[in-house]
Amino acid sequence: MPETAPSALITGGSRGIGARLAALLAADGIDVTITYRRRAEAAAEVVAGIRRRGGTAHATRVELEDPGDIDALFAGDAAFDFVVANAAASAFKPIAQLSTSNLQRSWETNVRSFVLLAQRAAERMPRGGRIIAVTSYGAHRAFPDYAAIGADKAALEAWVRHLAAELGPRGITVNAVNGGLIDTESLHHFYDLDGMPALEDVTAHVPLGRAGTPDEMAHAIRFLLGEAAGYITGQTIVVDGGLTITAPPFWKDVRRAQTPTQEEER
């Protein structure tokens, strides 16, 4: 009797990083379930594309603010070997303008849902497993209109450490992948907000000189889900082209040659 294929749950899998990760994992022979909130057609296209390439995939609508929807993912004997909390949503506003509802919904969607997913998934990982939270550089750096979700992403990375310590004896690793300026719809939506600088002006400060791609994020997540990362847990892997290692004055703004002189080389 053939061994059952490993399974993965990816929240927010209808576009961007989630969609690309779903395609990669399905190509590895993993049975993929993606969740979506509003984009049913896009989710269906992701699933159809995977199936055309011979993979196995499913899509289901989930409202992450609703604990009942999260419970429904694990109805009956449903279980997943890999869980990737990729979906996120929040209000992009100055702190003074954040309402009680903004704060509550952001926390429920980004933080509480991850904890509940980890709880439910871990209950059904008798032989170990992998849990990943997708975070962003707003967890480590402060910038305009990002406080609500940035603080939530920082909380996720704290939860990753606590979960890793508690679930480690059961063979479950828990990690985070922190993305910088990744070329997704969400990035362009943020930089289209009133008053934001041009995206190309911001990416010019990235040491690699460009935004990252969903593919680059997806490959980092895929690595942490694989056997080669079996001894990595409680960590945050940063995928940002060097964005968060820099500080003013930026190399981009230096008005002299950036190569050492002959005298300096000696």
Q: Which residues form the catalytic set?
A: 146, 153
Q: How far is CA 237 from CA 23, 81, 89, 122, in A?
A: 21, 20, 21, 22
Within 8 A by CB and 6+ apart from 161, the residues are 234
| CA 33 – CA 240 distance, rounded (Å) | 27
- CA-based nearest residue to 157, from 179, 177, 129: 177
Alpha helices in the chain (DSSP H): 16-27, 40-52, 67-73, 100-107, 113-123, 147-167, 185-191, 199-203, 214-225, 262-265
Helix orientation angle between 214-225 and 16-27, rounded to the nearest 10 degrees: 50
Rounded to the nearest 5 degrees, what angle is found at the Cα of 69, between the Cα atoms of 63 and 71?
145
User: What does the alpha-carbon distance between residue 35 and residue 51 come to, in Å, rounded to a whole number?
Assistant: 16
Residue 264 identity (one-letter amino acid): E
CB 135 within 8 A of CB 178: yes
Residue indicated by tokens 């041009």:
198
